[in-house]
Structure 1
Amino acid sequence: MGLLSLKEDRPTPKAVYNWRVYVSAAVASFASCMIGYDSAFIGTTIALDSFKTEFGFYELSTPELNLISANIVSIYQAGAFFGALGAYISSYFLGRRKSLFAFSLIFILGAGLMLGANGSRGLGLLYGGRVLAGIGVGGSSNMVPIYISELAPPAVRGRLVGIYELGWQIGGLVGFWINFGVNNTLPSSHEQWIIPFAVQLIPAGLLLIGAVWMKESPRWLFSKGRREEGLQVLCWMRNLSASDIYIIEEVSYIEEDIERHRVEVGAGFWKPFAALKQRKVQWRFFIGGMLFFWQNASGINAINYYSPTIFKSIGVTGTNTSLLTTGVFGCVKTFFTIIWLLYLIDHFGRRKLLMVGAVGGSLCMWYLGAYIKIADPSSHPTVNGQLSSGGISAMFFFYLWTAFYTPTWNGTPWVLNSEMFDQNTRSLGQASAAACNWFFNFLVSRFTPQMFATMGFGVYMFFAALMILSFVFIFFLIPETKGVPLEAMDRLFVVRPIWKANEVVMDELKLQEEEFRRNAGDLKLEDDGKPGLQQVEEKGDYV
């Protein structure tokens, strides 16, 4: 298959893969730029001499400094946890688009409060602002993958949700390099560290403006009984007329799926909670949350938030050298995210990516832990901060770990969680998964300084062991979702064995497609030129 070739669930007009779906996904993904920027800039900003001096960090003991640093970083994740849960409420009553607008406003308010912090006022405004900003990104992290997955054609769903991950990496790339820039071009001052805090307003403002242009999710409109509006948005998004057989099929699939779940689960705000009594729903909630447990168990957020500490443990010394090394880390992540987005996620598949990333990343972590144990670079500093040959090999394996992790575990759990829930439980399922992500993220960001202080090289071996366990989890419990329509996910999670489920379901879909087209071949348009969807329904259930 070529780089941009697609595996389709049914014959699809080229018009479906138009600029509208890509631009809509890109605009929504300004939310992930906000998230990625914070994960990259905050750890390096609070490591700047200007920040430490203004807030008296040099007067603190090491345990006190670790505690304050961990609080500044982790309080953001705590806010994001509650924002992710709150997004279920807003998405049910307001929809996906208006929820994104509201959460971007909350983030902007929080970012504005952070700009009021200084040495005389203390850290109070910084703490309060980071809580509000965390609520904003937590809600956005829930909404964006759902929104994109619901508007995406199945063949490019992974690629479109992957734009969300690309936005995360672009934000991170800016966050990693901006501190290198201010550290080299500006004197140590209040302005030096406040500029990185101000930059986070840019992607939030772009999301706010973009939310005005975005269309609401057609599936959400159908689920609310706003059929004509949903059909209009779907036709606009697919760039097809309402009479096109592809639109007739898709509307038929959506309405059948909604009706089935109204019978099985029921419609309403509380019905998805009642659905949690069903074992199949409980199972998907469990594996959705566990995917983010294993993602955080790779050690990525320890590296993102405390990169200066990570590089110091390997032997990199000096603020400027540490910032430069961190910036290169951001470049490597962005490069491999683009490869993941353009090719791997929709060709190689979700399941294989996660297993390859788990094994490769684990081997790299084992090497790093062994090197730090044997060489003990913190006790044997090199002359003029130059790395030894062993230190260079450790840096190589660190970047190799990045090459394994980024195109596998970095964005794939978001793709899986955006597509594996049914229409009636999708918002609640994504809220649960996003909240799990931020909860595990909070634990890592809160306790990483203490882990390095007490465990040393053992931190790397701890993450290495967990990555091996994640391979076992994926192999036995996660089916391949590549190319499967959202409406067929229930069937995918029933087929056994897991590693053959995708092949079985795709074969069934082809047979159903042939049957549908045979029965729909004699359809005629109604007098007003609109599709005879009622005629399709009278012919029977083809999904």
Structure 2
Amino acid sequence: MQQEASKKSFLTKIILISTLGGLLFGYDTGVINGALPFMSAEDQLNLTSFTEGLVASSLLFGAALGAVLGGRLSDYNGRRKNIMYLSILFFFATVGCALAPNVTVMIICRFLLGLAVGGASVTVPSYLAEMAPADRRGGIVTQNELMIVSGQLLAFVINAILGTTLGDISHVWRFMLIVAAVPAVFLFIGIFRVPESPRWLISKQKNEQARGVLKKIRSEDQAEAEMTEIQATVSQEKQLQKAGFKDLATPWIRRIMFIGIGIAVVQQITGVNSIMYYGTEILKNAGFATQAALVGNIANGVISVLATFVGIWLLGRVGRRAMLITGLAGTTSALLLIAILSSVLQGSPVLPYIVLGLTVTFLAFQQGAISPVTWLMLSEIFPLRLRGFGMGLTVFFLWMVNFVIGLLFPVLLGSFGLSATFYVFVILGVLAILFVKNFLPETKGLSLEQLEQHFRRYGSKEQGESKQGYATKAASAD
């Protein structure tokens, strides 16, 4: 009994330390929300709507590249060592942003910070998925999502505290940014206290090290059974060349990539990050003063954290598809109401509170259903040989869509107003629902190896089918 408790305690330590990467991801993407109004002042960086978009989205462009590089580097160096390198980049890029003397330096440092965020968005979920037992994988992997939204909440709270107490100091935004250096230091120190992924070790023929790691986090029987299963998969894949774009010629691999990219795009076109990055600006546009908007924005962070707890609980009880469709229906409805009411009630004193209530509702569906499913499915649908390449490529698409939204949202908001901007996201939300309904398979309850065999069998059935036949079969895959 004591030995079992010790194994659980060690696994918990692994989760807490590695998900500091998620906390940094969340803080660095959320802090810009409150920093922008102060950063935009004439005596600071003097930002326009376009340069506001550049400052926010330069991190996202870096994250897109970081996702691709992070996937490859985590395959080459190992998940653990890659996280260590990312912690160093997080620290120095954060310091650079906080000390930036002008827009150019800020954009460069935000880009470098994005490389770290993108690398973490690929490496941490992969590491957690490979450390977790199959029956607990959903809950463990989505704890990274919990840390992401906790990081965003921390950013919103610190923004509100500094903005209301030190708002008369023009460079208060520098204090908001530098806070992220602290968890980066803790991540660097902590990562030396956790082991490498056993799946990665076996792929590098380090079987005894892998067995030792598994025995620290599994019972004796579970460790040996998992060793056998992983070794069989790796042995089968040794005969195959390293994954790359040429593999997309294989139907079952092409289908996995199509689904992965689709999931990534769906998560972003809901418009979630327009709220997470520009929530303060949205509330100001609706009628709140700057300080009231900073405080009101905390509600968005609180509901994100609470909803993520609900999402983690639901993942063990509800299928991935059902959660995703329900979440998308909720977010799209909330955005439609924002679009309608911000036009009908324009200038009304109640409008800011209605918009705040609807953004909170939106985030309840987003963080309680869509985001947990997104990161979990991206971490579990790719077989070992494809995991680094697949995660890197799909998360690259996720960040590129994120980049476009982050760049254009303030421009659209300034040019067309709140109502018209949100109608665009409503249309995208409807398209997202259609994609999930027609193409997404169910993955709940299957081990990583079983999922690979599922996709391989689908691919073998698919051989020789016409393009029309493939589309029909994909639509009814689940």
- Which residue identity lines up with residue 166 of structure 1 in the other structure? L
2:469 aligned residue: none
**Is 1:234 aligned with 2:214?**
yes
Q: Is the 8 A contact 1:51 1:193 kept in 2?
A: no
Q: CA deviation at 1:15?
A: 6.6
Name structure 2 gaps, 5 residues minimum: 462-472
Q: CA deviation at 1:461?
A: 1.7
The number of equivalent residue pairs is: 461
Q: CA deviation at 1:499?
A: 9.5
2:151 aligned residue: 171
Q: Distance in 1 between matches of 2:141 and 2:180?
A: 22
1:467 aligned residue: 429
1:335 aligned residue: 306
If the length of structure 1 is used for normalisation, what is the TM-score? 0.80
Match of 1:423 among 384, 389, 392: 384
Q: CA deviation at 1:338?
A: 1.3
Q: CA deviation at 1:501?
A: 7.0
1:506 aligned residue: none
Q: Distance in 1 between matches of 2:254 and 2:160?
A: 46
Match of 1:93 among 66, 71, 76: 76
Q: Distance in 1 between matches of 2:261 and 2:175?
A: 35
Q: Distance in 2 between matches of 1:16 and 1:429?
A: 34
Alignment of 1:280-299 (within 5 A): 280-299=252-271
Return closer, same or farther for 1:299/1:100 CA change in 2, 3 Å cut-off.
same
Return closer, same or farther for 1:392/1:73 CA change in 2, 3 Å cut-off.
closer
Q: Is the 8 A contact 2:7 2:217 kept in 1?
A: no
**Is 1:205 aligned with 2:205?**
no
2:33 aligned residue: 43
Q: Which has the higher helix share?
A: 2
**Is 1:52 aligned with 2:41?**
yes
2:444 aligned residue: 482
Match of 1:326 among 297, 318, 328: 297
1:540 aligned residue: none
**Is 1:356 aligned with 2:356?**
no
Q: Secondary structure at 2:288's aligned position in 1?
A: coil
**Is 1:83 aligned with 2:66?**
yes
- Which residue identity lines up with residue 490 of structure 1 in the other structure? E
Return closer, same or farther for 1:250/1:131 CA change in 2, 3 Å cut-off.
same
Q: CA deviation at 1:426?
A: 0.6
Q: Secondary structure at 2:370's aligned position in 1?
A: coil
Q: Distance in 2 between matches of 1:297 and 1:81?
A: 16
Q: Secondary structure at 2:316's aligned position in 1?
A: helix
Q: Secondary structure at 1:114's aligned position in 2?
A: helix
Alignment of 1:360-371 (within 5 A): 360-371=330-341
Name structure 1 gaps, 5 residues minimum: 1-12, 58-63, 503-543
Q: CA deviation at 1:443?
A: 0.5
Q: CA deviation at 1:107?
A: 1.8
Q: CA deviation at 1:446?
A: 0.6
Q: Is the 8 A contact 1:84 1:138 kept in 2?
A: yes
1:8 aligned residue: none
Q: Is the 8 A contact 1:51 1:190 kept in 2?
A: no
Match of 1:305 among 243, 252, 277: 277
Match of 1:261 among 230, 237, 247: 237
Q: Distance in 2 between matches of 1:89 and 1:354?
A: 29
Q: Distance in 2 between matches of 1:17 and 1:357?
A: 35
- Which residue identity lines up with residue 466 of structure 1 in the other structure? L
Q: Distance in 2 between matches of 1:74 and 1:178?
A: 21
Return closer, same or farther for 1:368/1:133 CA change in 2, 3 Å cut-off.
same
1:433 aligned residue: 394
**Is 1:277 aligned with 2:249?**
yes
Q: CA deviation at 1:371?
A: 1.0
Q: Secondary structure at 1:424's aligned position in 2?
A: helix
Q: CA deviation at 1:404?
A: 1.5
Return closer, same or farther for 1:112/1:194 CA change in 2, 3 Å cut-off.
same
2:317 aligned residue: 347
Q: Is the 8 A contact 1:32 1:141 kept in 2?
A: yes
Return closer, same or farther for 1:271/1:463 CA change in 2, 3 Å cut-off.
closer
- Which residue identity lines up with residue 75 of structure 2 in the other structure? Y
- Which residue identity lines up with residue 93 of structure 1 in the other structure? Y
Q: Is the 8 A contact 1:16 1:153 kept in 2?
A: no
If the length of structure 2 is used for normalisation, what is the TM-score? 0.91
- Which residue identity lines up with residue 51 of structure 2 in the other structure? I
- Which residue identity lines up with residue 443 of structure 1 in the other structure? V
**Is 1:116 aligned with 2:116?**
no
Q: Distance in 2 between matches of 1:74 and 1:180?
A: 22
Q: Is the 8 A contact 2:438 2:476 kept in 1?
A: no
Return closer, same or farther for 1:38/1:316 CA change in 2, 3 Å cut-off.
farther
Q: Distance in 2 between matches of 1:100 and 1:454?
A: 41
Match of 1:26 among 16, 25, 37: 16
- Which residue identity lines up with residue 129 of structure 1 in the other structure? C
- Which residue identity lines up with residue 227 of structure 2 in the other structure? V
Q: Is the 8 A contact 1:492 1:501 kept in 2?
A: no
Q: Distance in 1 between matches of 2:270 and 2:214?
A: 39
Q: CA deviation at 1:322?
A: 0.5
Q: Distance in 2 between matches of 1:271 and 1:453?
A: 44
Q: Is the 8 A contact 1:218 1:233 kept in 2?
A: yes
- Which residue identity lines up with residue 343 of structure 2 in the other structure? K
- Which residue identity lines up with residue 361 of structure 1 in the other structure? T
After superposition, give the CA deviation of every residue in 1:42-77 in whole Å (9 maximum; x if it has no partner): 1211212x76143252xxxxxx61111111111111
2:470 aligned residue: none
Q: Is the 8 A contact 1:349 1:482 kept in 2?
A: yes
**Percent identity of paired positions between Structure 1 and Structure 2:** 25
Q: Distance in 1 between matches of 2:136 and 2:41?
A: 46
Q: CA deviation at 1:80?
A: 1.2
Q: Distance in 1 between matches of 2:428 and 2:361?
A: 18
Q: CA deviation at 1:364?
A: 1.5
Return closer, same or farther for 1:473/1:463 CA change in 2, 3 Å cut-off.
same
Please identify runs of 4+ aligned residues in structure 1 that moved more than 3 A: 13-17, 270-274, 390-395, 491-502
